[in-house]
Amino acid sequence: MRHLLFLVLRICALPLLLTFQTMVLAAEALDWAALLAQGAALREQGHLYKSIDLLSTLSQTAGSPQLQATALGELGASQLQAHRYAQAESSLRQAFTAAPEFERARPAFYLGNLAIIRKRNEEARYYYQEALRLNGDNADFRLGITLNLARIAAAPEKLSQLSALSAELARLPANSQIARFHLNLGEQARRLGSDGVALAFSHINEAHLLAQQLGEFRLQLEALDALGQLYEDRERSADAIALTRLALDLAHKLEPDGVADLLINLEWRLGRLLLS
């Protein structure tokens, strides 16, 4: 009888044990996803060393090859932004190779960005086309890929491509990613010189306004930096100095490790303008 009771209790406890184990695994997966999102958020905020440390740990402790590939992809993106190009290439290539096909779009996108930095335009085009092919239904990500493809378009085609993307951006609801796309487009238009100046001002200014509305302080700083450069390009020194000082005032209110890279640009421009 005692043996039968033990067996019944064991059988009844088994579903409870399995349920508990499932809850633990779900919690672990949720924590891992939250930590991964935190690593990406730290990158967007400019805290690159913290992002790299966290994502490196996640890539080494991931519970499956798929999770490891995801962490490596985000790690590679942070290493790329920190100018650690050899490390970024290693992480991103591992992620691109190991991830299931439906998750290869992001590492492909960042490998395209790395190829642009290294002036390997055909390689960049290959990875961006792969990212488009693998992207699925993510409209925002598709727009980001298309914007970066415009970077390597032939000069006669670039303005028309940016104008088409400008019209597409105007139809989208505001969020942090869209604000970054405005800045991306504006910076590309700025490099076209007088042909792109109206488009550049419109989109960089829109990025600045959206960053203010969304409380995205680093993005606001990046937009002010870009506006200052735009006015310097147009030889409007007084406006460029005013914008650069405004950006420096904002930068000094933020955490130093999140804006150190931007401070260098701003201080260098201010010195250059004051001496000219």
**CA-CA distances (angstroms) from residue 23 to 9, 63, 65?**
21, 16, 22
Distance CA 247, CA 267 (A): 10
What's this model's pTM, rounded to 2 decimal places? 0.82
pLDDT tens per residue across span 66-81: 989 999 999 999 999 9
Neighbours of 267 (CB within 10 A): 13
Which CATH code for domain 162-276? Answer: 1.25.40
Query: Nearest-CA neighbor of 170 among 210, 130, 121, 134?
Result: 210
pLDDT tens per residue across span 237-271: 999 999 999 999 999 998 888 888 899 999 999 99
Domain ranges of the chain: 49-134, 162-276
pLDDT tens per residue across span 110-144: 999 999 999 999 999 999 999 999 998 888 899 99
- CATH fold group of domain 49-134: 1.25.40
The one-letter code for the residue type at 6 is: F
